[in-house]
Amino acid sequence: RKAHRDAANEAVAHMEKIVSNFREISRRPRLAKTRCNVSDILDRVLLLLEPRIDGFRISVERTGARLPDIEADGEKLCEALANLVDTACEASGLDGTVSITEETGRVEPLERALVVRIADSGPGVPEKLREVIFQPFVSTKKEGTGLGLPIARQVFEEHGGWLNLHCPPGRGAVFVCVLPLASKEDAPWL
């Protein structure tokens, strides 16, 4: 009996250590905000993903105005946007299309915001997955960890914005990324 209890206690202690280690790994470092430009970050993302885009023979369409500078962590935004563009490429499949739209405007509840839409020409996200796609460890990819979309959403939320998914009927999926824009007083370069 004592041996079973000791083994159970040892197993519980081992699991607690695993959970503790996972928490430590999953803690994101604080934002290192500097003046950066999301349009420039998208340029970098497309350059970094060029081999992947070429491998899928993806046509990338980019529309909208060049975005103003913001105070943000450019590296984290690059990581998040790269994940979204890569996900759109995979969803579009061979010879698909990924459309990226950049714009500024008023998005409730924000006074001023910049919005990036990343749309794919794939089959869309099944309705049953739409509610859970941003939860950790949910993946439809063969080799996916299920952490890319939750981390991307967390990055936008850490910046005071958000990341949503829209699935127009019969037209793929659209990731909508929203980031707050500072007022002219806070950022005179706008």
Alpha carbon 83 to its chain's center = 6
pLDDT at 91: 87
Q: Indicate the pLDDT class of residue 161, thresholds 50, 70 and 90.
A: very high
Output the CA torsion sign for 142, 82, 84, 120: negative
Among 32-41, 111-120, 122-131, 136-145, the least confident range: 136-145
- The pTM of this model reads 0.79
- Cβ burial 107-140 (10 Å sphere, 16+ → b, else e): beebebbbbbbbbbbbebbeeeeeeebbeeeeee
**At 64, phi and psi to the nearest 5?**
105, 180
Q: Indicate the pLDDT class of residue 19, thresholds 50, 70 and 90.
A: low
Check residues 167 and 97 and name the one with the higher pLDDT.
97
Q: If residue 178 lies in a helix (H) or strand (E), which one and from where to where? A: strand 174-180
